[in-house]
Chain A
Amino acid sequence: MSPVLEARNITKRFGAVTALSDGSLTVEPGEIHALLGANGCGKSTLSKVIAGTVAPNSGVLRFNGSDIAPRSPRDAEALGIALFYQELSLVPQLSVADNIFLGHERRTAAGFIDAKQLRHDTEALLQRFAGVAGDGFSADAPVSTLAPDQRQIVEILKVLARKPRLIIFDESTAALDRRQVEVFFDILRSLKADGVSSIFISHRMDEIFAICDRITVMRNGVTVTTLTTAETDRDTVVHAMVGELAVPQRFARNSAVAAEPRLVVSQLSSRRLDSVSFDARPGEILGLGGLQGQGQSAVLRSLFGAEPLTDGSVVLDGKTLTLRKPADAIRAGLAYVSGDRGRDAAFHGRSIFENIAAASLVKERRRLVWPNQLKQRFIDAAAALNTKYDGLDAPIGSLSGGNQQKIFISRWLATNSQVLLFDDPTKGIDLAAKADFFTLARGLADQGASIIFYASEDSELLSLCDRILVFNSGAIAAELTGDTLTAFHLTNAAYGKAA
């Protein structure tokens, strides 16, 4: 039988970054095919190319034996390829029924929406999840009133209603509970029986082994191997994801980590966190790892008072903190450095002086400012990081990404913060600046700061951290120290605990 989908040697560059250098994937009719890899391996880019949301630079895409080049989700859908979106594809104001059939409404002869048929079709689809979907889940309910798992079910039904021949399920089980996943798997099996193929992406290895026929593993933008699930095991798959990577150079610690924890976090819970507890010591760099979006940023942002917590406690130097807004965190001595500088850090068009001053003004509750009193302090803070700049009056935009990030770190050095929260801070920074940043982080820790560091690149975590907490579905799946600080253990834990 000829394959339903054949992707060969797909490449995709975003500016100077190559996201995909040799993406290949073959899916047979009626097959459930897993696509696996660590962060940044190119699996999302490859799925987007297949679904038409991203145009490849080169490569061959064949569907049912003929060459295709979908240029939009609409094109792909017309061919019979549908992509399940993790979020953002539902309209909260519209009802469940309207969302499921949006753009595919059955019409009467006069061109009106056939409300009766719409309701009937929707109820037939909802029937599949009857009993496991929870309260308030009906055809007429506005999507804005639904719980996250119910929204995910609507997304799944919306994809099914389009009756595609190939479906890409990207993290479609993330919000579902066990019973709902079972129902979803039953649906996948009945699709399979009808000859519909699925590409399945999940951060739960157990699910992949439970439902998938074959597994394609990607690493650094290249398809590494395709394995038959029945003939392989978890270790083989994780080894394929990690590869024979050279052990990253580790930044040696020059001082001992104190024994007493400075920051004790217990049972943090929120929309995206599930009872997260850990502690951080002076002189330590604590890494947060795992696949992207598993709660690492949420922990840091919650600690900084930028995201609400539903439960949990944060104790710093023996004092319990109340963190309702970032100002609370700043005054308690916490600092937050984000990789998304444009959104979280920069005052565009303002001077370097003002950009450094922001945190000091909040922490010291200054209402009037005499710049000359602060200037020397800021110059010292920026000099400590080897920042290259023309003068404190130059606009922040005149600096490169790496130097901007140094300014935002200076902002916190000027407040003398002892707990630094780094949220993927090296995003979009060139290699030389990254190396500077690592030296700087290590130096700060050696002087006694506690650093909590999330990086989407595993190699950064492995080279810098004394300890790594691996996140999966908003909870800590594993804690890596000493001998277990390896790419293998990190990737293995990122895909959930071994069953």
Chain B
Amino acid sequence: MTLLRNRLWLVTLTALIALFVVNWILQPNLVTPNVLKSNLTVFLPIVLVAIGQTYVVLGGDIDLSVGSVVALVNVVTVSVIAALGGGPGGVMLGMGAGLLTGALCGMVNGLLISGLRFQPIVTTFATGIIFGGLALLVLPTAGLPVPAEYWRTYGGYALGLPVVLWIFIGALIAIAIISRRAFFKHLSAAGGQRTAAFQTGLKVGQIRIMAYVLCGLFAAVAALCLTGETASGDPLMGRMLALSSISAVVLGGTALSGGSGSAFGSVLGALVLGMIGNVIFFAGLPFDYQTLIQGLITLLALAGGVLVSRR
């Protein structure tokens, strides 16, 4: 038990390997470059959103608005690209506008919660509705395709490896960097024991806002990836992402009460959620079971966390 405390992600890793083996048995062509690549393409958005969610949860907060942030970023990006005529410069500006939108959404959440001391759950529930409403204003119906270069690049290869793999590697490097910054310790302190962090002289307010901004940025990157996959705008995109990302964070061993956990664990958690979907599909079970089973496994992970932390 002592070995497992703070290493809950080891359990998740074991589960991931087990699921992978089962999947391989059910789907013999799993370990071929194309199948692995298409799997990664499907999992990447939830992986990215879960990473961002981890920082907010570590700080003792929660972000229920990420799904709507993804939708808003998507429609802003495709609208800006379309408005600028779809050239390479327009695409870059559109992606920039999307990232900025994500960061701003995070900033709004952070300011409301950390600055005005609103309740995180209720606030992000409300801002989620607002961001979703804004997305509908920007693009009332699905459509507005992005230029072919956008999705071809996203689905293609660079330096011999799939672009989606590069993005995944990039995300892993980003979380490795963040976890070695003092910010990460300060964030854990702010989430673990807020009064202690304050009395130690940490700028708790700024730290929590920063976590929300990071969450918004990762959600924006996820939206750009989804845009590469769907190749068009959709104001209702990513509706399930907020709750799945929280499931992934829990599966990855991060405590919902804040203070302990890792973004790497959440990556594993997100992959486990994705693999569950695969296994259900290839085992021939009706797809309707997927949500039910993901929910049960999240509950199991929560129970496991409670059991391990109880002495």
Contacts and interface: CB of A to CB of B under 8 A. Distances in A.
A93 B196 contact: no
B181 A94 contact: no
Contacts of A90: 193, 196
B185 A94 contact: yes
Given A105-B182, A113-B181, A142-B6, A91 B189 contact: yes
A152 to B, nearest CB: 14
Q: With a 10 A CB-CB cut-off, give which of A88, A89, A91, A158 has the most chain B CB atoms.
A: A91
B259 A102 contact: no
B9 to A, nearest CB: 15
Contacts, number: 67
A85 B199 contact: yes
Interface in B240-265: 255, 259-260
Given A92-B192, A102-B185, A113-B182, A73 B259 contact: no
Contacts of B182: 105, 107, 113
Contacts of B160: none
A72 B204 CA distance: 13
B6 A73 contact: no
B199 A88 contact: yes
B200 interface: yes
B262 to A, nearest CB: 12
Contacts of A74: 201
Nearest to A115: B180
A111 interface: yes
Interface string B195-222: 1111111100000000000000000000
B188 interface: yes
Kindly state the interface size class of chain B when it binds its partner. Answer: 20 to 34
B282 to A, nearest CB: 39
Nearest to B201: A74
Contacts of B6: 142
Contacts of B196: 88-91
Interface in A277-316: none
Contacts of A113: 180-182, 185
B186 interface: yes
A89 B200 contact: yes
A77 interface: yes
Contact of B260 (A77, A89, A93, A107): A93
A246 to B, nearest CB: 40
A171 B18 CA distance: 53
Interface residues of A, number: 24
Contact of B193 (A53, A72, A91, A112): A91
B180 A103 contact: no
Main secondary structure on A side of the interface with B? loop
A98 B196 CA distance: 13
Contact of B192 (A77, A94, A103, A107): A94
Interface string B1-34: 0000110000000000000000000000000000
B181 A111 contact: yes
Contacts of B185: 94, 98, 102, 105, 113
A309 B5 CA distance: 27
Contact of A94 (B188, B201, B255): B188
Interface in A143-170: 158
A85 to B, nearest CB: 6
A443 B243 CA distance: 60
Interface string A103-130: 1010100011101000000000000000
B179 to A, nearest CB: 9
Nearest to A72: B201
Contacts of A98: 185, 188-189
Contact of A103 (B5, B181, B200, B255): B200
Contacts of B181: 111-113
A74 B259 CA distance: 22
A113 B185 CA distance: 9
Contacts of B188: 91, 93-94, 98
B122 to A, nearest CB: 20
A103 B259 contact: no
Contacts of B259: 91-94
A215 B198 CA distance: 31
Interface in B164-196: 177, 180-182, 185-186, 188-189, 192-193, 195-196
Contacts of A85: 199
A170 to B, nearest CB: 12
B6 to A, nearest CB: 7
Nearest to A102: B200
Contacts of A73: 198-201
Contacts of B189: 91, 94, 98, 102
Nearest to B185: A98
Contacts of A115: 180
A270 to B, nearest CB: 17
A83 B260 CA distance: 26
14 contacts: A77-B201, A85-B199, A88-B195, A89-B199, A93-B255, A94-B185, A94-B189, A94-B259, A98-B188, A102-B202, A103-B186, A105-B182, A142-B5, A142-B6
Nearest 10 A/B pairs, CB to CB: A93-B259, A93-B192, A74-B201, A93-B260, A91-B192, A91-B189, A105-B182, A91-B193, A112-B180, A89-B199
Given A89-B199, A105-B182, 4 more contacts: A77-B201, A98-B189, A102-B189, A103-B186
Interface of B: 5-6, 177, 180-182, 185-186, 188-189, 192-193, 195-202, 255, 259-260
Interface of A: 53, 72-74, 77, 85, 88-94, 98, 102-103, 105, 107, 111-113, 115, 142, 158
